[in-house]
Amino acid sequence: MISGKAIRRGNWWHIGWNENGRWMQKSTHVKAEGNNPPPEVNRLLADIQEKLKCFKTGEEYIPKLLVSEAFLEWSKEDAKISKEGTWKYRQAFVPRTLGEEFFKKMVAHVNEGDVLNVIGRLNQHEMAYQTKLTVFASCASFWDFCVKKGYSKAQLFHKFNKKKLKGDMEPRLERRALSYEEQDRIFSLLKSYK
């Protein structure tokens, strides 16, 4: 095991580890409130230890991050670049679409089967096809962020999966002429407002 530990310096938690015979130290920017490090500091320490282990063995390092944590990170960045309405829409629809089980997984462990489950759930909804495409695009934007950050190695929300979406491509309401009864009712209501 690679040696490393959480150190309290003043009012802040730091992480220290031995790398190539040199002692390295990094601030976690987490305020110290007690003698035991909080879970986020322990997670950072485990992350650094995993990085060092991968570096020594020559393996590729993939961060261990939950989808829910990556989503919070994406939300902050998306809020800076999106219009407010678009941002609120994405904050509501992406978690609801991906589902609770998806959010509990590690980003690196999400696979094509998980995305096909999401598409299957979308296809069961009675929403318009265009709405499904918009929701899929929002999920793809979130996953693009995960790929750019290096949390995932594969873009799973791609155009081939997009083609698996099904739905009514016609408008929801049928267009038809008004019946004579409907016309009479409308005209009588309009006359009553004089």
Domain assignments of the chain as residue spans, ordered by start: 4-57, 67-162
**Residue 112: closest CA among 140, 154, 67, 149:** 154
Separation between Cα atoms, residue 135 and residue 96, nearest integer Å: 10
Eight-class DSSP state of 66 = B
- The alpha carbon of 92 is separated from its chain's Cα centroid by a whole number of angstroms, namely 11
Q: Three-state DSSP class for 13?
A: strand
Separation between Cα atoms, residue 115 and residue 126, nearest integer Å: 19
pLDDT attached to residue 171:
58
Spell out the per-residue pLDDT of the chain, length 194, in tens.
456 788 888 888 998 888 777 888 888 888 888 888 888 888 888 888 888 887 788 887 777 788 888 888 888 888 888 787 777 777 777 888 888 888 888 888 888 999 899 889 888 888 888 888 888 888 888 999 989 988 888 888 888 888 888 877 665 566 778 889 998 999 998 888 76
What fold characterizes domain 67-162? DNA polymerase; domain 1 (1.10.150)
The CB-based long-range contact list for 28-32 (8 Å cut-off, 24+ gap) reads: 32/8
**Residue 51: closest CA among 63, 67, 66:** 63
Structure tokens, 174 = 């049928």
